[in-house]
Amino acid sequence: MEYVIEMNHITKIFGKFKALDDVTFKVKKGEVHALLGENGAGKSTLMSVLFGLYQAEKGEIIINGKAEQISNPNDANNLNIGMVHQHFKLVHNFTVLESIILGRETVKAGILRKDDARKKVMDLSNKYKLKIDPDAYISDITVGMQQRVEILKMLYCDNDILIFDEPTAVLTPQEIEELMKVMKELVKEGKSIIFISHKLNEIKEVADRCTVLRKGRHIGTVDVSTTSKEQMSEMMVGRKVSFNIEKIDAKVGEAVLEVRNLTIKARNSKKNMVNDVTFDVNRGEIVCIAGIDGNGQSELVYGITGLIPINEGKVFLNGRDVTRESIRRKCIYGMAHIPEDRHKHGLILDFDLQQNAVMQTYYEPRFQKFGLIKFNSVREYARKLIKQYDIRSPKDEDSVVRNMSGGNQQKLIIARELDRDPEIVLAVQPTRGLDVGATEYIHKQLMAQRNEGKAVLLISLELDEVMNVSDRILVIYEGEIVGELNPKEITVSELGLYMAGSKRGEGYGKKA
Ligand SMILES: Nc1ncnc2c1ncn2[C@@H]1O[C@H](COP(=O)(O)OP(=O)(O)OP(=O)(O)O)[C@@H](O)[C@H]1O
Ligand SMILES: [Mg+2]
């Protein structure tokens, strides 16, 4: 039998919206099968149908040659199908170990046998080099470790068919390398993997075949080794995509953002998350803060934008001290923020698209009169953003944001932030989870801000993005800036040395 999974003629409709239209998708035993498509193409929906989270209106699912009815995730688990979701579904006040064994607890004479479970989990952890701390609480661990927990949970259940929905979007380059190795190991053991990613390099590295979806339709299935990245992205978006960013010379002006001796202490330890950081971002330049995840870059941005208090230091915006200003004031003075965690800090998921679009501006005269919201103006404005930024969703401005695809949620935030014509944009991982077309678009937008003489501070974990987009690179390591680099003069591997802390720029001595 050639296929472990055959999904034939699947159609899935939400209200009036056809998310999947007659899609056929087949996975061979022992292969890594990539699923590629633009944001909102239907990848997660197709996997949710396979995993029993959604019921298809039409079509059949055949697992190992037998037609099956998959009505819920338990049915899927019984067929040895496991899934790592795009947005993790872990319970925050559980420990790592509890999370992994949840739903599969071994009970002997009515007593939970945690010891057996712990041994099995640690054996798996060692075997696949998925490092975890079994007793840490989910709320305290990094997204990278959460990802490993999700994978171990899937392996703990002895699944044979593994679905990874965009696992690499939240991982650091080092963690991605590790995950690629794990996937190769798993297929060697005869497991079959479905791998969703927007990163064509990853698909090239690990996948055997690739199925492309566009707007809910099956465009084709290709052999990865004989298909170029350019061909795959053209199938995906229906046009040619350029991987190079056009860059005119920067015309650098005066400082827009000045950060002086910023220090932020950690909540539970004596360590400083951000230690005496000083830098400027000037008109007409994109400054990038590069670093391995967890080196203080998140806290630095939280401190500047006002999401967490800072202990020492000052922040100036166009010469004005905004260190202790409210977030609304900072917005008014021209600070825009594309946050790292779009669900926590970027959107209200149960509000609709238009409400989210005016989150910082609803009180302005164009949207409000005598304390009443001008609903028509809000609607019109949202429509303008949808059109201009190509935000795709099932019900346009009336879509509840929770039901929008991850990438389109991100586009909405970017539209809202850039359309306020800010003086400085703090963009944290702005292209995380975006397809190649949308990534190209965001990079162009950031470049346009810069060319108009605005300032951009970009925080990115992706070295390609750092090297291609920025005019100046500041490397952060353990809460300190350890070097300032010119992307034209350094190589990726050199940058890596700074990020790993094994090299420091001149004048960037270790401070006590
Ligand atoms: N529960 C739902 N109700 C209504 N519409 C939905 C629901 N779930 C998904 N959709 C819509 O179906 C379409 C496909 O969404 P899906 O999440 O499958 O996209 P995707 O290919 O995974 O995109 P991304 O790369 O951004 O994650 C989107 O337009 C989305 O808004
Ligand atoms: Mg998705």
32-79 residue pLDDT tens = 999 999 988 999 999 999 999 999 999 999 999 999 999 999 999 999
Look at 359-363, 429-433, 456-460 and tell me which has the smallest mean pLDDT.
429-433
Give me the pLDDT at residue 405, please.
87
Residue nearest to atom 17 of ligand 1 (CA): 405
Dump pLDDT digits (tens) for 91-140.
778 888 988 888 766 666 666 667 778 888 999 999 888 888 888 888 77
Task: Determine contact, residues 339/416, Cβ cutoff 8 Å.
Answer: no
* Residue 166 Cα: closest atom of ligand 1: 27
Query: What's the average model confidence in pLDDT over 388-406?
Result: 92
Give me the pLDDT at residue 510, please.
57
Test site for ligand 1: of 194, 353, 403, most ligand atoms within 8 A of the Cβ: 403
Could you tell me the distance, in angstroms and rounded to a whole number, from the CA of residue 118 to the centre of ligand 1?
A: 36
CA atoms of 335 and 51, how far apart (whole Å): 42
Give me the pLDDT at residue 416, please.
96
Test site for ligand 1: of 14, 57, 215, most ligand atoms within 8 A of the Cβ: 14
Could you tell me the distance, in angstroms and rounded to a whole number, from the CA of residue 274 to the centre of ligand 1?
A: 37
Task: Determine contact, residues 209/181, Cβ cutoff 8 Å.
Answer: no
CA atoms of 477 and 294, how far apart (whole Å): 9
DSSP secondary structure letters along 17-86: EEEEEEEEEEEETT-EEEEEE-TTSSHHHHHHHHTTSS--SEEEEEETTEEE---SHHHHHHTTEEEE-S
Could you tell me the distance, in angstroms and rounded to a whole number, from the CA of residue 408 to the centre of ligand 1?
A: 9
Could you tell me the distance, in angstroms and rounded to a whole number, from the CA of residue 392 to the centre of ligand 1?
A: 9
Q: CA nearest 462: which of 169, 162, 59?
A: 169
- Rounded percentage of the chain residues whose pLDDT exceeds 90: 63
Q: Confidence class of residue 144 from pLDDT cuts 50, 70 and 90?
A: confident
Task: Determine contact, residues 336/301, Cβ cutoff 8 Å.
Answer: no
Could you tell me the distance, in angstroms and rounded to a whole number, from the CA of residue 119 to the centre of ligand 1?
A: 38
Test site for ligand 1: of 46, 212, 404, 409, most ligand atoms within 8 A of the Cβ: 404
Could you tell me the distance, in angstroms and rounded to a whole number, from the CA of residue 421 to the centre of ligand 2?
A: 30
Q: CA nearest 304: which of 455, 431, 442?
A: 455
Give me the pLDDT at residue 278, please.
97
CA atoms of 49 and 17, how far apart (whole Å): 16
Give me the pLDDT at residue 88, please.
67
Q: CA nearest 214: which of 192, 239, 195, 194?
A: 239
Could you tell me the distance, in angstroms and rounded to a whole number, from the CA of residue 427 to the centre of ligand 1?
A: 24
Residue nearest to atom 9 of ligand 1 (CA): 403
Q: CA nearest 495: which of 455, 469, 471, 464?
A: 464
For 243-334+422-512, CATH gives 3.40.50.300
Give me the pLDDT at residue 193, please.
97
How would you classify the pairing of strands 192-196 and 32-37? parallel
Could you tell me the distance, in angstroms and rounded to a whole number, from the CA of residue 78 to the centre of ligand 2?
A: 24
DSSP conformational letter for 342: I
Residue nearest to atom 31 of ligand 1 (CA): 404
Task: Determine contact, residues 230/240, Cβ cutoff 8 Å.
Answer: yes
**Residues forming CATH 3.40.50.300 domain(s) in the chain:** 3-237, 243-334+422-512
* Residue 435 Cα: closest atom of ligand 1: 25
Ligand that comes closest to the CA of residue 217 = 1
Look at 146-155, 199-208, 366-375 and tell me which has the smallest mean pLDDT.
146-155
Residue nearest to atom 3 of ligand 1 (CA): 403
Query: What's the average model confidence in pLDDT over 493-498?
Result: 85
Dump pLDDT digits (tens) for 9-19.
999 999 889 99
Task: Determine contact, residues 290/469, Cβ cutoff 8 Å.
Answer: no
Give me the pLDDT at residue 109, please.
63
Query: Which of 342-351, 421-430, 502-511 is modeled with the greatest confidence?
Result: 421-430
Query: What's the average model confidence in pLDDT over 148-168?
Result: 90
- Rounded percentage of the chain residues whose pLDDT exceeds 70: 96
Give me the pLDDT at residue 321, please.
97
Q: Which helix (H) or strand (E) holds 258?
A: strand 255-265
Q: Is it the case that residue 432 has pLDDT exceeding 90?
A: no
CA atoms within 13 A on the CB side of 336: 24
Residue nearest to atom 25 of ligand 1 (CA): 39
Q: CA nearest 260: which of 335, 204, 318, 314?
A: 314
Structure tokens at 410: 């991100």
CA atoms of 186 and 145, how far apart (whole Å): 19
Query: What's the average model confidence in pLDDT over 422-445?
Result: 90
Q: Is it the case that residue 511 has pLDDT exceeding 60?
A: no
Residue nearest to atom 18 of ligand 1 (CA): 42
Could you tell me the distance, in angstroms and rounded to a whole number, from the CA of residue 51 to the centre of ligand 1?
A: 15
CA atoms of 459 and 446, how far apart (whole Å): 12
Residue nearest to atom 12 of ligand 1 (CA): 19
- Pocket lining for ligand 1, CB < 6 angstroms: 14, 17, 19, 37, 39-45, 86, 392-394, 403-408
Query: At the topology level of CATH, where does 3-237 sit?
Result: Rossmann fold (3.40.50)
